[in-house]
Amino acid sequence: MDKLVITGGQRLSGEVRISGSKNAALPLLAATLLTADTVRLHNIPQLQDISTMVQLLGQLGADILVNETCSLDVTSGEAVQAFAPYELVRRMRASILVLGPLLARFGEARVSLPGGCAIGSRPVDQHILGLRALGAEVEVESGYVHARVQGRLRGARVLFDMATVGGTENLMMAAALAQGETVLENAAREPEIVDLALLLNGMGARVDGAGSDCIHITGVDRLHGCEHRVVSDRIEAGSYLVAAAMTRGDVVCRDTDPSLLEAVLRKLQEAGAEVSHGVDWVRLQMSARPRAVSFRTQPFPAFPTDMQAQFMAMNCIAEGTGSIIETIFENRYMHVQELNRLGASIVVDGHTAIVHGVDALQSAPVMATDLRASMSLVLAALVAQGETHIHRIYHIDRGYERVEEKLRQLGAQVLRAPA
């Protein structure tokens, strides 16, 4: 098991290429199960979660070919098995996304209940309710979701009790091969939903309204292969921009879409950053200590929960006091204790965290608790005085491609070492 060793105090400057989005690539990989043809996906990030999904597809019976860096061919022929075992699914929550495609194409699927980051309850009840509305018989037994349908799924109106990204994705994929029209209301609006719709339509599906809260899917008899480029990772881009703001740096993020970062960029400007951008790049320049910002996490297009921990790290060394309200996950403040070990001043009351900015952080050994929390510790270590050791960094490897290399490229002193 590795750790990161970071010597703080370096101003970040330069350019960094933003990888393809993990949160988009995972449902795209699951969608390849909808056809026996080959689907080629470009801009796939090299991450642990991607490796887990590729292993799962391989165990299901798909053939996977790595063409070159960041490109995969997936062929899910007729020999695919509709059984996703606990041994793989427990490692990553997104594995539940194979449920809809397997059920729609083969009429049956048995998928283990998922695992992943311990950031609170993320039930799959909305997935199950939606599949039942499409005519499936679904039972949860012995830790597995077992879904069956006689013939094809049937289009239906599905009203989600809450906007759920995974539930929206699973139902979009299932409905693509259903008979008739499906309407998903109160659907998630995230850019990753739009990217999935682009892939499905490239495969011959008929999906309209992705990016809004009402998505229409007209089922087709079969889907075919295609090529698709994964959208850029807006959370990775936001994380490096926060790093630039905290270190009073000057960083350009390349191969990213600034239109997906509007809520994050507004808060960075509120903190005092100078932000400029073009079609596929964003530049952040910071010449002074950040000002504390307050925000509430909400579904897209509002401020994303996946950027909460990074902005909390910035508030730790900002001028003034910021309040943060987490509305998405009930257990997403596990990084607070570790940030306080570095000298931060954070008080949590229920879903609200009050962060009083301090003049400086001090190095200390800390432990990552989940994916985004691990990045908040990296950001804090970049400005802490002395050498900080961050343990359990397998969390960060799930969602940040070559993080130490990219940070060193920007001038940080970061080393990966045995724990």
Catalytic residues: 117
Q: How far apart are CA 376 and CA 378, in angstroms?
A: 5
Residue 108 near residue 135 (C-beta atoms within 8 A): no
Q: 3-class secondary structure for the chain? A: CEEEEEECCCCCEEEEECCECHHHHHHHHHHHHHCCCEEEEECCCCCHHHHHHHHHHHHHCCEEEEEECCEEEEECCCCCCCEECHHHHCCCHHHHHHHHHHHHHHCEEEEECCCCCCCCCCCCHHHHHHHHHCCCEEEEECCEEEEECCCCCECCEEECCCCCHHHHHHHHHHHHCCECEEEEECCCCCHHHHHHHHHHHHCCCEEECECECEEEEECCCCCCCCEEECCECHHHHHHHHHHHHHCCCEEEEECCCHHHHHHHHHHHHHCCCEEEECCCEEEEECCCCCECCCEECCCCCCCCHHHHHHHHHHHHCCECEEEEECCCCCCCCCHHHHHHHCCCEEEEECCEEEEECCCCCECCEEECCCHHHHHHHHHHHHHCECEEEEECCHHHHCCCCCHHHHHHHCCCEEEEEEC
Residues with Cβ within 8 Å of 223's Cβ and at least 6 positions away in sequence, in order, are 34, 35, 37, 176, 177, 200, 203, 204, 205
Edge-to-edge strands, sheet with 144-148: 83-84, 108-112, 144-148, 137-141
- State whether the Cα torsion 356-361-363-369 is positive or negative: positive
Residue 330 near residue 351 (C-beta atoms within 8 A): yes
Structure tokens at 75: 């062929």
Strands 387-391 and 2-7 turn out to be antiparallel
